[in-house]
Structure 1
Amino acid sequence: MAVRRSRPSLCISVDIGADGPIPGPYSMPGLGAAVAGVQDAEGFTAADPEARTFSREPLPISDDFVPEALAVNGLDRERLRTEGLDPALALGRFAHWVREVSEGAQPVMCGYPASYDWTFLYWYLIRSTGESPFGHSGRLDMETLYATKAGVPLRTVAKRSMPTELLPRRRHTHHALDDAVEQAELFAHLMAWQGPVSPR
Structure 2
Amino acid sequence: MSYIVVDIESDGPIPGDYSMICFGAVIVDEHLDKTFYGKIKPISENYVPEALAVSGFSREETLAFDEPEKVMLDFEEWIKTNSKGRPIFISDNNGFDWMFICWYFHHFIQRNPFGFSSRRLADLYCGLEKDTFAQWKHLRQTKHTHHPVDDAKGNAEVLLHMKREMGLKISFK
TM-score, with length taken from structure 2: 0.90
* Cα separation, partners in 2 of 1:22 and 1:102, compared to 1, 3 Å: same
Q: Once the 2 structures are TM-superposed, how far is the Cα of residue 129 of structure 1 from its aligned partner? A: 0.9
Task: Give the match for residue 91 of structure 2.
Answer: 111
List gaps (5 residues or longer) in structure 2. 168-173
Task: Give the match for residue 123 of structure 2.
Answer: 144
After superposition, where does 1:1-200 map in structure 2 within 5 Å?
9-37=1-29, 47-49=30-32, 51-82=33-64, 84-103=65-84, 105-137=85-117, 139-153=118-132, 156-159=133-136, 167-194=139-166
Q: Once the 2 structures are TM-superposed, how far is the Cα of residue 100 of structure 1 from its aligned partner? A: 1.1
* Cα separation, partners in 2 of 1:56 and 1:157, compared to 1, 3 Å: same
SS in 1 for 2:27: strand
List gaps (5 residues or longer) in structure 1. 1-8, 38-46, 196-200
SS in 2 for 1:152: coil
Q: How many residues align?
A: 167
SS in 1 for 2:37: strand
SS in 1 for 2:28: strand
Question: Greater Rg, structure 1 or structure 2?
Answer: 1
Partner Cα separation in structure 1 for residue 79 and residue 14 of structure 2: 23
Q: Once the 2 structures are TM-superposed, how far is the Cα of residue 19 of structure 1 from its aligned partner? A: 0.9
Partner Cα separation in structure 2 for residue 21 and residue 180 of structure 1: 19
Identity across the alignment (%): 35
Counterpart of 2:86 in structure 1: which amino acid? Answer: Q
